[in-house]
Structure 1
Amino acid sequence: MCDTNARRVLTFPAIRPCESVSPATLLSSLITLAKNICSYKSRHIFTNASNAKHSFRLVGNILVFLEDIRQYETSLSYEMVLSLSELHFVFQKLRFLLEDCTRSDARVWMLTRSEKVSYQFRAIFRSVSVALDVLPLDSLNISYELKELMGFIKQQALNSKLGFRPEDERVLELLRSVLDQLEQQMNPNLKRVLEYLGIRSWTQCNNEIKFLDSEIGLERSTPKKSDLGILSSLMGLMTYSRCRVFTVINDEENPASSDGFRRSNHLISSMNVDDFRCPISLEIMSDPVTLTTGHTYDRASIEKWFKSGNLTCPKTGEKVNSGSLVSNLCIRSIIKQYCVEKGILLGESVGGNRSREIAHANTGGSVAAEAAIKMAVDFLVDRLVFGTTDAKHKATYEIRLLSKTSIFNRACLVEAGVIPCLLDLICVKNPKIQENAIAALLNLSKYPKSKKVLVENGGLELILEVAQNGMKMEARQHAAGTLFYLASVDEYRDIIGKIPRSIPVLMELVLEGTNRCKKNALVAILGLLMYPENHWKALAAGVVPLLVDLLRSSSQCEDLLVDSLAILATLAEKPDGTMSILSCGALHVILDVVGSTTSKASKEYCVALLLAMCTNGGADVVRVLVSNPSLMGPLYSLLAEGGSRASKKASSLIRIIHEFNEKHASSTTRRPVDHFQEQFVNVW
């Protein structure tokens, strides 16, 4: 399910066999490992092919010996077991190296590392020779021919002519020349490099970009960042190649709904956002790392914990080495998928993307990368204006991908004048072009300078039109997300709110859309409510009954409940909002939610909502709360485990309930709850 490997390329986390392992188990495992190595012969090796072929011959010959001595596995000497253990350790490293050499998505990176890889092959061959040199063959009753074979293998391992392949060296020099041309903003000739690496399609090129992007993310989390420049240059080169060289997108799909995401849909849907929060900061982890205790924290939080003088695991209290932080790539990938699947627009920090973007907001990572992106953007804008329908379709898709990647890319696109072109294209009667164009505008709306350009070019009405009448639900979903980001500016909240159909259109998406579409619409409504004048407009449009119905629906995902509660809590801060909520009979619904939800965020919003309703609704609201003793459990739980604001609100609500009980302790009569609900209905 993960979109990144659990091991970085050219790292070799081999583990020596346990000293207590039985000879039979060790030998069986070693034979399996050798066969696995030989199976790589059927894969295409793009660089260091001759070195890999030498390793296949070497391991294949050793495999003959291993299978022959199986008959003696119960009587293997201690020295023999030590030798086989060392061989097992070395074979693990060789398998990792071959796995990297045959990766179909790391071809250009492995080319740049080809000299280092040749050194690795030599080191592994020397280690094999050492392991065989101490092999006590005389202790085995094997044929003279087999002993001769092992002697030959040992010499082969020691004297094999391994080195930097001349063909690899020539193409590597050509690649360096191409990067130099990019730095000078010259259109490079990429054909020979791409052909040598077998990169012949848009998909293969895009896979290289995905790999390089993941490596850049990992490299930025390391202290030295020694490879960051070359990784960025290669990323720019492959992005330029994808835009310019490959004219056909042979596997276009929604970047946020690939097969991997669809396959994991059930698992992702069963997860809770609280599962991804750092135990220290309680925020969604952007760079999860795991300690030797097995517990996972956000890197920034645990490093701050260590710097404050704590050398223990915060959860277990066990002493740990502060330098033993291991990036948890699987958790990081799952968090990224979760945010995409749930439509969490504020989750840019997930996967480290946001922190990386902030740190490198004004740079592409290298001179070559910056030039490559600028040249690619100029090419794409030209296609938007003068291209055929097919060319515009590809250009909008490429811009969609580029605008998703980094702040630098967004800045280049905005400066090149892409926004007016995209606004024109969201009106065309082509569902793919419309979807890609509005998705690109969504990504660009995250960049501060783009918001003004969007609004000044009449973008609000056009985006609302797509939100209401988009040809695909995905386009409507992206339009709602774009409105959310535009509503982050106070001035634009006012402008959007003054458009009569804005809130009704978002409400329509909450009713009709997919979960991600509903999510985008809800957070957009919440953003508009940050402007006071939009408060009564939302009430007049009927937002409250819509949200209460969402709360009543047990089939809704937890995230939608959280967003609904957040909006209701905001509305309840004013008396008219409280009255509207109470008139819908929402009080008991909220009490049911606070008693049944497992989400800390839902509980916190419920408590904020109940506190506001007590403040604005008076004693009748408190009376209903007092009649629900099950409420006290969640309140005390938040008091102990919630954030500072949630704890204060829980404490205030507990105090109100206690004061009410004390004041009315002698009272033996209470008004019926049904009468209480009726009075609010009559008011409205």
Structure 2
Amino acid sequence: MYDANTRRILTFPAIRPCESVSPATLLTSLITLSETICSFKLKPLYTNAKNAKDSIRLVGNILVFLEEIRRDELVLSCEMVLSLSELHFVFQKLRFLLEDCTRSDARVLMLVRSQKVSNLFRAIFRSITVALDAMPLDSIDISYELKEVMGLINNQAFNSKLGFRPEDERVLEKFRSVLDQLEHQMNPDRKNLKRILDYLGIWGWVECNNEIKFLDSEIELERSNTKNSDLGILSTLMGFMVYSRCTLFTTVDSDAVTVSGDHGSDSCQHVITSLNVDDLRCPISLEIMLDPVTLTTGHTYDRSSIEKWFVSGNLTCPKTGEKVISGNIVSNLCIKNIIKEYCLENGISMAESGCSNRGRGNTHTSTGGSVAAEAAIRLAVDYLVDRLVFGTIDAKHKATYEVRLLSKTSIFNRACLVEAGVVPSLLDLICLKNPRIQENAIAALLNLSKYSKTKKVLVENGGLELILEVAQNGLKMEARQHAAGTLFYLTSVDEYRDIIGKIPRSIPVLMELVLEGTERCKKNALVAIFGLLKYPENHWKALAAGVVPLLVDLLRSSSQCEDILVDSLAILATLAEKPDGTMSIVSCGALHVILDVVGSTTSRASKEYCVALLLAMCKNGGADVVRVLVSNSSIMGPLYSLLTEGGSRASKKASSLIRILHDFNEKNASSATRRPVHFQEQFVDVW
């Protein structure tokens, strides 16, 4: 079935009607299709307007003929059915073309493709003429007048003066001139920019941004295409629209726009926050999917895994056993984007998660895609940096918002921003007592901190204390959330883990966010604490600050989302690797809490961290810990399930823990006849 949300622009997945379809059904479907085409006359047309209107008018005239056939319930010959079938096929293509011509977010691309679109209209008119010529009107009982009308309609289609609209040609020429200026790193005349956008009906920031989002999705799809034939022009158009958005529009209704990837209220964030990470794993490899594809059975797998499955001779869906055709696999862009966002939001490296450069194209590319696009972005960045320093308060707000958007979309954009000196300006702006500017500036720093060269610039400009100040006293919780996320990315550098850990308030501030923040804020704070613990010297600091009781309370709370439980367990597992960490966890009465989590959680990640935590506690906590585990028989089920379903590391840890428990039982049974053995010595062979 046709899905308007998945069809790429200027593609025509028309399907010829089945030969066995009844004439009445075919006629009804053709009339419905014609009515749909006629409904486009109420929609705005920005390019190829005359061609589109002529085609709609032609179909409207044919519709009168079709309705009369149905009203009179005429018997249709095989030849007439064939003609109507061909007409149905052509009308499908026309509908697709009109959908593209009336799209509100693809106007600039349709302008560039206007010559091609004009040719498509001509080809469709020729096809309609052929179908009408072949129509055996004498084989049906209609009036002579109606036959004459149909002859006139056929002549109208044959003689229609379809062509490239002069107005489109003039605007397209002006547009090419602007692109040439951008390619030579020259700022285009603002009047010319405005004339082009006005012609396309792009009169505001939101409309401009919608064009950018559309181009972004097209670039993503094009990057997955082996030919990449349209990547250059799409990137150029993206650069043009970004430059226009940054320089032409002085205000933005930010309430009407959400920023995916760094904004806590974005709907995607709710999905990412509440999802079970196991849903993102391939059922075959059990790893987070790199390129998810869906079979006709409705089940999704990683492309490489399912292709290996087919190559090995299997012709069924691994989950259902239903027979499938190996070629019938469709990219699942929705899941792909969720995986991409999940990896970025959780600080998972692309290599670790499987989300490599073959993932969402524009996020990982280090180039602009074309010479004009790169020049346009650099010119836009220079303009924004100037506004950050010298602009009014309103101009600074607009500029920080634009930087926030640019910094989240690609490595190339981040590199341009850092090279232009945006980081010191943003650090100055997060000190302003302006909630909107502070939030946008710290969100931009969060996005930029994902770029390796940003971290050094940020630290050298005194950014750590400023970011901690926002994390502690930010004017909005969203700003504090972004500050915690920025600290997490800074902890990817060992030197900065040490520096941040030496700031006395760093861990207490993050703990405060865990207590007071929203779920996303808690998440960012927890992963920042986890990042700090990668530096061994920070372990005792975290213990001294009281991290363990805080985390145990989180585990006790049934209201916490699965992600927060996973992060809490990950931190506890890290702390338990040292004896003082294990002692602190045991003294909080956490052992039974952890066992409850093992028995109740449905998340494989939670189970794996629980096993790692319990294994470390057995190593460092002695026989008392093992004795509690042995007395709790419910733990064995999750342990054995991880042996078969967990990853390689999780399976090894589960196996080690099972062996410890079995050895303890055996040695406890024979303890009366054997000398006491120090607990640490019993299991030295496990490590």
Report SS of the residue matched to 1:606: helix
Report SS of the residue matched to 2:301: strand
- Residue by residue, what CA displacement relative to the aligned partner does 1:475-515 show, whole Å, maximum 9, x if unpaired? 00000000000000000000000001101100111111111
1:677: which partner in 2?
none
Q: Where do 1:79-158 residues align within 5 Å?
A: 79-158=79-158
CA gap 1:437/1:18 in 2 versus in 1, 3 angstroms: same
Report SS of the residue matched to 1:289: strand
Q: Where do 1:244-323 residues align within 5 Å?
A: 244-252=247-255, 253-256=257-260, 271-299=275-303, 302=306, 315=319
CA gap 1:336/1:87 in 2 versus in 1, 3 angstroms: farther
2:216: which partner in 1?
213
* Letter in structure 2 aligned against 1:197: L
Contact 2:183 2:375 in 1 (8 A): yes
1:425 partnered with 2:429: yes
Distance in 2 (alpha carbons) for counterparts of 1:147 and 1:334: 57
2:487: which partner in 1?
483
Distance in 1 (alpha carbons) for counterparts of 2:263 and 2:551: 32
CA drift of 1:161 comes to 2.2
CA gap 1:338/1:574 in 2 versus in 1, 3 angstroms: closer
Distance in 1 (alpha carbons) for counterparts of 2:402 and 2:99: 30
CA drift of 1:153 comes to 2.5
* Letter in structure 2 aligned against 1:644: S
CA gap 1:257/1:400 in 2 versus in 1, 3 angstroms: closer
634, 637, 648: which is aligned to 2:638? Answer: 634
RMSD: 2.8
Report SS of the residue matched to 1:61: helix
Distance in 1 (alpha carbons) for counterparts of 2:273 and 2:149: 58
197, 200, 204: which is aligned to 1:201? Answer: 204
CA drift of 1:12 comes to 1.6
Contact 1:568 1:609 in 2 (8 A): yes
Distance in 2 (alpha carbons) for counterparts of 1:152 and 1:61: 10
Contact 1:203 1:251 in 2 (8 A): no
Bigger shift: residues 351-360 or 629-638: 351-360
Distance in 2 (alpha carbons) for counterparts of 1:213 and 1:50: 29
Distance in 2 (alpha carbons) for counterparts of 1:339 and 1:69: 58
| Structure 2 unmatched runs, 5+ | 673-687
Contact 1:111 1:172 in 2 (8 A): yes
* Letter in structure 2 aligned against 1:250: D
Bigger shift: residues 118-127 or 319-328: 319-328
Distance in 2 (alpha carbons) for counterparts of 1:324 and 1:260: 37
CA gap 1:270/1:157 in 2 versus in 1, 3 angstroms: farther
Q: How many pairs are equivalent?
A: 662
Bigger shift: residues 208-217 or 659-668: 659-668
CA drift of 1:460 comes to 0.3
1:344: which partner in 2?
346
1:374 partnered with 2:378: yes
Bigger shift: residues 574-583 or 524-533: 574-583
| Structure 1 unmatched runs, 5+ | 669-684
CA drift of 1:653 comes to 1.5
Please give the TM-score of this superposition, normalised by the length of structure 2.
0.90
Report SS of the residue matched to 2:293: strand
Distance in 2 (alpha carbons) for counterparts of 1:24 and 1:352: 52
2:230: which partner in 1?
227
Q: Where do 1:30-49 residues align within 5 Å?
A: 30-49=30-49
Identical aligned residues as a percent: 80
CA drift of 1:38 comes to 1.1
Distance in 2 (alpha carbons) for counterparts of 1:80 and 1:609: 75
Contact 1:345 1:520 in 2 (8 A): no
CA drift of 1:298 comes to 3.5
1:356 partnered with 2:361: yes
CA gap 1:377/1:262 in 2 versus in 1, 3 angstroms: closer
Distance in 2 (alpha carbons) for counterparts of 1:159 and 1:351: 54
- Residue by residue, what CA displacement relative to the aligned partner does 1:233-253 show, whole Å, maximum 9, x if unpaired? 111111111111111113454
Distance in 2 (alpha carbons) for counterparts of 1:282 and 1:169: 54
2:419: which partner in 1?
415
Contact 1:335 1:351 in 2 (8 A): no
CA drift of 1:160 comes to 2.3
* Letter in structure 1 aligned against 2:512: E
CA gap 1:240/1:306 in 2 versus in 1, 3 angstroms: farther
1:554: which partner in 2?
558
Contact 1:45 1:101 in 2 (8 A): yes
CA gap 1:42/1:377 in 2 versus in 1, 3 angstroms: same
* Letter in structure 2 aligned against 1:521: A
CA gap 1:357/1:77 in 2 versus in 1, 3 angstroms: closer
Report SS of the residue matched to 1:532: coil
234, 239, 242: which is aligned to 2:242? Answer: 239
Bigger shift: residues 111-120 or 535-544: 111-120
* Letter in structure 1 aligned against 2:654: A
CA drift of 1:468 comes to 0.2
CA drift of 1:303 comes to 5.8
Distance in 1 (alpha carbons) for counterparts of 2:326 and 2:275: 30
Distance in 2 (alpha carbons) for counterparts of 1:460 and 1:331: 35
CA drift of 1:344 comes to 3.1
CA gap 1:239/1:553 in 2 versus in 1, 3 angstroms: same
* Letter in structure 1 aligned against 2:281: R
Distance in 1 (alpha carbons) for counterparts of 2:150 and 2:611: 75
CA gap 1:542/1:329 in 2 versus in 1, 3 angstroms: same
- Residue by residue, what CA displacement relative to the aligned partner does 1:183-211 show, whole Å, maximum 9, x if unpaired? 11111131221121111111111111111
Report SS of the residue matched to 1:297: strand
1:672: which partner in 2?
none
Report SS of the residue matched to 1:405: coil
Contact 2:261 2:341 in 1 (8 A): no
Q: Where do 1:327-476 residues align within 5 Å?
A: 327-335=331-339, 343-346=345-348, 356=361, 360-361=365-366, 363-476=367-480
Distance in 2 (alpha carbons) for counterparts of 1:165 and 1:241: 25
* Letter in structure 2 aligned against 1:233: T
Bigger shift: residues 469-478 or 327-336: 327-336
CA drift of 1:262 comes to 5.7
Please give the TM-score of this superposition, normalised by the length of structure 1.
0.90
- Residue by residue, what CA displacement relative to the aligned partner does 1:245-275 show, whole Å, maximum 9, x if unpaired? 1111134544139999766777666532221
CA drift of 1:339 comes to 6.8
Distance in 2 (alpha carbons) for counterparts of 1:353 and 1:55: 41
